[in-house]
A and B are shown apart, each in its own frame.
Chain A
Amino acid sequence: MNTGTFERGTHPPDNKALSAAKSITEAKVPSRVIIPLSQHIGAPCQAKVAVGDLVKKGQIIGSADAFVSSPVHATVSGKVVAIAPFPHTMGRDIPAIVIENDGKEEWAEGIKEHSDWGSLDAAALRDIVKTAGIVGMGGATFPTHVKLSPPKEKKIDCVIINGAECEPYLTADHRVMLEEPGAVVNGLKILMKIAGVSKGYIGIEDNKPDAVAAMEAVTKGDSSIDVYSLKVKYPQGAEKMLIKAIVGKEVPAGGLPMDVGVIVQNVGTAVAVYEAVRYGRPLLERVVSVTGRGINETKNLKVRIGTPLSQLVAECGGFKFDTGKVIAGGPMMGMAQSNLDSPVIKGTSGLLVLDPEESEIAVHGPCIRCGRCIDACPMGLQPQMLSVLAEKGFYEEMKEYDLMNCFECGTCAYVCPAKRPIVQWVKLAKMSLARK
């Protein structure tokens, strides 16, 4: 079996048993969906419909001309009732299109199946991916077609499917690999064809041996695809760590995976690519793990994009406690939500509900220079210096300690015995510097 890992990192309890055994079930289609015009990194979309318009499932309702962008689609059929700023899981109100569901589930015209997708060329496939509004579904939401269009001088050697799912609690990718391994592999093959490479990898943390076995079973006899069982260690699913673990290359500081000839895509993204190409379906739904000790029932739900978080909570039996934390994504990098009106977007991998005790905000003390953060930082930084400098507002000096190479994985803050909010300071420093 192929194995691999990266240097440093940490071991938070994975808590995946809460939802790992729950099969994916369809969530109720909401009576209205909220489709934010920005669900990706890059230029926000412009609304292509007006209030009062009737729209169909799969119809493009927002797009942008910019290269780094991704269109958004109506995920139900019905009537546009509002186009206005709306709460978003990223914490700010963002313009969104609200559609009242007519319950007819009518598909837009022009949905084209390709049972013979093997005959399509790379450009045609890339176009389908772009039009389908596919973005990185692991949470980063970078437009997939952009990743698949590297500049000519960057030679791509392989595509890696990220099935590490190193965030504690989350089990969405795990379930997808168990239940739709064929779609994952077909998605990978399409991605390989678009990238023009003959080598593909699937990287999975070894706390999911059943997923490793499932993926090995469907790739058996196919020498172009290798499945890697990776040591459980956070943040194994970070692109740079995943590439290091599988192909042994270090993405240069400040660089991108394509600089070492690699394209990384999430498991969910691979399935979305396959479904877009094979069935002509744009990205309308995704699997969301609703989990944690604060929710009555944990589930892995297939959810329409635009479904309000409150509906997911209701569908899982509601909260167990009056007080708690609700996080979009995982506990290490996810965003705590201040209300439940925000909708599920393309990058929402989980809805984690912590109980009151877990939700308590730790009181932090001074840095005692124990060095645990230095031993754990996957990027080889000195988080302790970053934290001390940030605390005093020395943001410029933080650049000398490679502030910009920090991708905010939270490993340092997790291991810190003084409970220092290192990621918060790093984010603040980056924002303050960007404003200058």
Chain B
Amino acid sequence: MSEDQHKLIVSVSPHVRSDESVQRIMWMVSLALMPAFAASIYYFGIQALIVQLVTIAACVGFEAATQKIVGKPVTITDGSAVLTGLLLGFNLPANIPLYIPVTGSLVAITITKHLFGGLGYNIFNPALIGRAFVLISWPKAMTTWMEPVKSIASMDAVSAATPLNIAKMEGMGKLVEQFGGTSALYSNLFFGSVSGSLGETSALAILLGGIFLLVRGYITWHIPVSFIGTVALVAAVTGGDPVFHLLAGGLMLGAFFMATDYVTGPSTRKAQLVFGAGCGLLTMLIRLKGGYPEGVMFAILIMNCFAPLLDRGMRSKTFGAVVKKKEAAA
């Protein structure tokens, strides 16, 4: 024996690992949400900050409590509960009573995520289930929107309908008239100066984060492009206004940050294209024919059900597989 007290560590190959980690991914996606977070405070004031901080705190708290109760290691530092809290907060109106985000967090984290096995095992996007639950439970509070505040100091909440709601109830003409022209409508939608859920109003802020995720490789183009593309296509084909449909409501947020959730979406690129297209179709079906003015949330949740099936049915070709089939046939 020549190994003078040298301790050798043994494990199976590979012996090197990339420096990417689940934790870093979660914090990077959270970072990508910061422009929209900032925009929400800019447009909806301190109330937006309070709602979102309460939601994040509730999500992290429920994660820790649930893991403690079921006797699992507490993993709140991995950033996934913070991310869920951010996304759930983004989907709420500014002037919501705070017990609603807290309940939504409980449903998102404890029921949707941990009762299904925790990170990696949930079927549905936790933030969206949380939001669906509170929307159905408190429909009035969840659809009482605030007009963007003129300055952070002025806290007077003026309630107003969302552009999608006006378009649905009173028609596009009325909406354009209200904003004083199509270009004014587009520009307000693009920058986010419209009423709506906290994190969804500013297309610009969401695009900034989305581009960051794309450039850094945290998401690929497949889901956002097929989702947004399908919405535009359906809007154009049905004689609607594609630009309006792209910028209004939760489409941008949904396409870049919710439908792209790794856990609840498909993993193969082909399946992701179908998944995105399905989200787009269902969104437009609900927007144009459904009872709700907005359909992004339900569209993604419905498509979540199909994610494993799509992955299974649309597997990539195994290296050398085609050649083998030909040979077998010959």
Q: Which listed residue (A13, A253, A333, A352) contacts B318, Cβ 8 A? A: A253
Q: Which listed residue (B6, B78, B323) contacts A319, Cβ 8 A? A: B6
How many residues of chain B are within 8 Å of chain A by beta carbon?
A: 46
Contacts of A358 in B (CB 8 A): 15-16
Residue A56 lies at the interface, judged by CB distance under 8 Å to chain B:
no
- Chain B 235-281 interface residues, beta-carbon cutoff 8 Å to A: 262-263, 265, 267-269
Shortest Cβ distance from B326 into A: residue = A252
Q: Please measure, in the bound complex, the distance between the C-alpha atom of A322 and the C-alpha atom of B5, giving whole angstroms.
A: 7
Residue A427 lies at the interface, judged by CB distance under 8 Å to chain B:
yes
Residue B324 lies at the interface, judged by CB distance under 8 Å to chain A:
yes
Shortest Cβ distance from A294 into B: residue = B6
Q: Which listed residue (A325, A366, A427) contacts B120, Cβ 8 A? A: A366
The reply to whether A419 and B21 contact each other, CB–CB distance below 8 Å, is yes
Q: Please measure, in the bound complex, the distance between the C-alpha atom of A322 and the C-alpha atom of B8, giving whole angstroms.
A: 9
Contacts of B17 in A (CB 8 A): 362, 413-414, 416, 419
Contacts of A374 in B (CB 8 A): 267-268, 316
Q: Please measure, in the bound complex, the distance between the C-alpha atom of A385 and the C-alpha atom of B316, giving whole angstroms.
A: 13
Q: Please measure, in the bound complex, the distance between the C-alpha atom of A334 and the C-alpha atom of B14, giving whole angstroms.
A: 7
Contacts of B25 in A (CB 8 A): 368, 370, 417
Q: Please measure, in the bound complex, the distance between the C-alpha atom of A384 and the C-alpha atom of B6, giving whole angstroms.
A: 36
Residue B2 lies at the interface, judged by CB distance under 8 Å to chain A:
yes
The reply to whether A341 and B20 contact each other, CB–CB distance below 8 Å, is no
- Chain A 345-393 interface residues, beta-carbon cutoff 8 Å to B: 352, 354, 358-362, 365-372, 374-375, 378-382, 384-385
The reply to whether B324 and A417 contact each other, CB–CB distance below 8 Å, is no
Shortest Cβ distance from B78 into A: residue = A365
Contacts of A370 in B (CB 8 A): 25, 262, 267
A138 to chain B, nearest CB (A): 15
The interface centre, meaning the residue of A255, A308, A358, A418 with most chain B CB atoms within 10 A of its CB, is A418
Residue A405 lies at the interface, judged by CB distance under 8 Å to chain B:
yes
Given contacts A255-B324, A310-B2, A341-B1, contact A418 B15 (CB under 8 A): no
The reply to whether B262 and A371 contact each other, CB–CB distance below 8 Å, is yes
The reply to whether A378 and B319 contact each other, CB–CB distance below 8 Å, is yes
The reply to whether B16 and A331 contact each other, CB–CB distance below 8 Å, is yes
Contact with B along A413-435 (1 / 0, CB 8 A): 11111110101100100000000
Shortest Cβ distance from B118 into A: residue = A366
Residue A224 lies at the interface, judged by CB distance under 8 Å to chain B:
no
Given contacts A365-B119, A418-B22, contact A251 B320 (CB under 8 A): yes
Residue A29 lies at the interface, judged by CB distance under 8 Å to chain B:
no
Residue B9 lies at the interface, judged by CB distance under 8 Å to chain A:
yes
Residue A102 lies at the interface, judged by CB distance under 8 Å to chain B:
no
Residue A327 lies at the interface, judged by CB distance under 8 Å to chain B:
yes
- Chain A 302-351 interface residues, beta-carbon cutoff 8 Å to B: 308, 310-311, 314, 319, 322-327, 331-341
Q: Which listed residue (A308, A338, A414, A427) contacts B8, Cβ 8 A? A: A338
Given contacts A250-B323, A314-B2, A366-B118, contact A414 B18 (CB under 8 A): yes
Shortest Cβ distance from A332 into B: residue = B14
The reply to whether B13 and A253 contact each other, CB–CB distance below 8 Å, is no
Q: Which listed residue (A251, A323, A333) contacts B9, Cβ 8 A? A: A323
The interface centre, meaning the residue of B6, B13, B118, B320 with most chain A CB atoms within 10 A of its CB, is B13
Contacts of B22 in A (CB 8 A): 365, 368, 417-418
Q: Please measure, in the bound complex, the distance between the C-alpha atom of A62 and the C-alpha atom of B5, giving whole angstroms.
A: 35
The reply to whether A384 and B14 contact each other, CB–CB distance below 8 Å, is no
A94 to chain B, nearest CB (A): 17
The reply to whether A382 and B15 contact each other, CB–CB distance below 8 Å, is no
Contacts of B170 in A (CB 8 A): none
- Chain B 111-163 interface residues, beta-carbon cutoff 8 Å to A: 117-121
Given contacts A365-B22, A368-B262, contact A322 B118 (CB under 8 A): no
Q: Please measure, in the bound complex, the distance between the C-alpha atom of A361 and the C-alpha atom of B7, giving whole angstroms.
A: 14
Q: Please measure, in the bound complex, the distance between the C-alpha atom of A380 and the C-alpha atom of B262, giving whole angstroms.
A: 19
The DSSP consensus for interface residues of chain B is: loop
A328 to chain B, nearest CB (A): 11
Contact with A along B313-325 (1 / 0, CB 8 A): 0011111111110
Shortest Cβ distance from A401 into B: residue = B315
Contacts of B318 in A (CB 8 A): 253, 379-381, 402, 405
A392 to chain B, nearest CB (A): 12
Q: Please measure, in the bound complex, the distance between the C-alpha atom of A379 and the C-alpha atom of B315, giving whole angstroms.
A: 12
Q: Please measure, in the bound complex, the distance between the C-alpha atom of A424 and the C-alpha atom of B311, giving whole angstroms.
A: 24
Residue B10 lies at the interface, judged by CB distance under 8 Å to chain A:
yes
Q: Which listed residue (A12, A327, A382) contacts B315, Cβ 8 A? A: A382
The reply to whether A340 and B3 contact each other, CB–CB distance below 8 Å, is yes
B74 to chain A, nearest CB (A): 13
The reply to whether B267 and A417 contact each other, CB–CB distance below 8 Å, is no
Residue A42 lies at the interface, judged by CB distance under 8 Å to chain B:
no
The reply to whether A424 and B319 contact each other, CB–CB distance below 8 Å, is no
Residue A157 lies at the interface, judged by CB distance under 8 Å to chain B:
no
The reply to whether A371 and B267 contact each other, CB–CB distance below 8 Å, is yes
Given contacts A250-B320, A371-B262, A415-B20, contact A322 B15 (CB under 8 A): no
The reply to whether B9 and A324 contact each other, CB–CB distance below 8 Å, is yes
Shortest Cβ distance from B322 into A: residue = A250
Shortest Cβ distance from B117 into A: residue = A366
Q: Please measure, in the bound complex, the distance between the C-alpha atom of A322 and the C-alpha atom of B7, giving whole angstroms.
A: 6
Residue A133 lies at the interface, judged by CB distance under 8 Å to chain B:
no
The reply to whether A325 and B16 contact each other, CB–CB distance below 8 Å, is no
Contacts of A367 in B (CB 8 A): 120
The reply to whether A12 and B13 contact each other, CB–CB distance below 8 Å, is no
The reply to whether B12 and A427 contact each other, CB–CB distance below 8 Å, is yes
Contacts of A410 in B (CB 8 A): 13-14
Q: Please measure, in the bound complex, the distance between the C-alpha atom of A191 and the C-alpha atom of B321, giving whole angstroms.
A: 29
The reply to whether B120 and A369 contact each other, CB–CB distance below 8 Å, is yes
Contacts of A319 in B (CB 8 A): 6
Contacts of B8 in A (CB 8 A): 324-326, 336-340
Residue B174 lies at the interface, judged by CB distance under 8 Å to chain A:
no
The reply to whether B14 and A333 contact each other, CB–CB distance below 8 Å, is yes
Residue A240 lies at the interface, judged by CB distance under 8 Å to chain B:
yes
A169 to chain B, nearest CB (A): 9
Q: Please measure, in the bound complex, the distance between the C-alpha atom of A205 and the C-alpha atom of B13, giving whole angstroms.
A: 22
The interface centre, meaning the residue of B2, B6, B20, B25 with most chain A CB atoms within 10 A of its CB, is B6
Contact with A along B10-50 (1 / 0, CB 8 A): 11111111101110110000000000000000000000000
Shortest Cβ distance from B264 into A: residue = A369
11 intermolecular pairs with C-beta atoms under 8 Å apart: A252-B320, A252-B321, A310-B3, A319-B6, A327-B15, A334-B15, A336-B10, A340-B2, A385-B311, A414-B17, A421-B11
Which residues on A are within 8 Å of B, measured CB to CB?
A: 10, 12-13, 168, 240, 244, 250-255, 308, 310-311, 314, 319, 322-327, 331-341, 352, 354, 358-362, 365-372, 374-375, 378-382, 384-385, 402, 405, 408, 410, 413-419, 421, 423-424, 427
Which 4 A/B pairs are nearest by Cβ-Cβ distance? A410-B14, A366-B120, A371-B267, A310-B2
Q: With contacts A331-B13, A416-B18 known, what are 7 further pairs, Cβ within 8 A?
A: A253-B319, A334-B13, A340-B3, A380-B316, A380-B318, A384-B267, A410-B14
